[in-house]
Amino acid sequence: MTSNKIIPYIAILSSITFWGVSYISSDLCLNYMQPITLVTLRCIIAAIILLVVWKVKEPNTKIIKKHMPRMFSSGFVGIVCYFIFEFYGIKYTSPAVAAIILAAIPIISLIAQKILGREELNIFKVMGVVISLVGVTLVIGIGVPNINHDGELIGYLCMLGAALSWVVFNYITLPLYNHYTPLTITTFQMVTGAFAIVPIFILSGEPIPIINATVTVNVLFLAVFCSALGILFYMYAFKSLGIVTTTLFINIQPFVTVIASMIVLKEFLSTNQVIGGLLVIGAVYLSSYKKRLYDTKSKDEKTILES
């Protein structure tokens, strides 16, 4: 494998590692501030960093007027909506459970493709959807008392909202790769997110957060490594490897989060949750089995890229 082919894999593995640990950093920050406050800090810092880098690397790049709505909508959905849902999900569940639920993103993407008429379901995909549903059920628990305990139902619904936001974000963003670099796309999406979240933060009335060493280190990690570098690396890999291969790497993320949770937070999953997590991850690989044999890019992706 040449270095040009290795770099996208290094990029996506770096993103997944950052994002896997990000659940732990987010959980620690949420002990001192509310979710929308954390989204605001993360977006503003990341937007400033990306703008500086973008101005240095691509000073002559201009955004075509007709592409502005897509830039703005993808930034709002993929940055603002996703992070708000994710942070509230972590607040009411746990980092490990949140990561496992988000591992079902490729399955949700598959269902969306079927609804839009862009993907046919074969036996592997149908089995993947069913197994994934069983896995998620085991992760969140079957009993109503457990689901309603301490707002857990809210947390699970928020994580589902985060997963749906990321699927929509991918499909809105995809055509932009025909016209702009990952750096330009990521920068404008993050700037959009920063501008959109500020009025939401003001209207939310959330209190000024407690700032200490723990908050400072973890907010900077979330902004610099998880938002700025993480999303930029993901975009680069997404363009090079295609939607199917890239989204499959998301399944490594729960392992990173679970290990980090055990080390940092001393949190451990139940047997049912471990089994459920493995089922979700296995389901995604099963549902993409035939596609991985023949093509790393789905017909859906090619259709969008050609539009």
Q: Which residue has the higher pLDDT, 249 or 67?
A: 67
Average pLDDT over residues 157-176: 88
Per-residue pLDDT tens over the stretch 103-117 = 777 777 767 766 665
* 31, two tokens: 């002990």
* pLDDT score, position 190: 92
Q: Compute the mean pLDDT over every residue in the chain, rounded to the nearest whole number.
A: 79
Position 296 pLDDT exceeds 70:
no
Position 166 pLDDT exceeds 80:
yes
Q: Which residue has the higher pLDDT, 276 or 295?
A: 276
Per-residue pLDDT tens over the stretch 31-57 = 899 999 999 999 999 999 999 989 998
Q: Are the beta carbons of 1 and 197 closer than 8 angstroms?
A: no
Of the pLDDT bands very low, low, confident and very high (cuts 50, 70, 90), residue 299 is very low
Position 147 pLDDT exceeds 70:
no
Position 144 pLDDT exceeds 80:
no
- How many structural domains compose the chain? 1
* pLDDT score, position 300: 46
Of the pLDDT bands very low, low, confident and very high (cuts 50, 70, 90), residue 2 is low
Position 301 pLDDT exceeds 50:
no
Of the pLDDT bands very low, low, confident and very high (cuts 50, 70, 90), residue 153 is confident
* pLDDT score, position 276: 74
Lowest mean pLDDT among 66-80, 227-241, 277-291: 277-291
Average pLDDT over residues 181-196: 91
HEC letters along 272-290: HHHHHHHHHHHHHHHHCHH
Range of the domain at 109: 3-306
Position 225 pLDDT exceeds 80:
yes
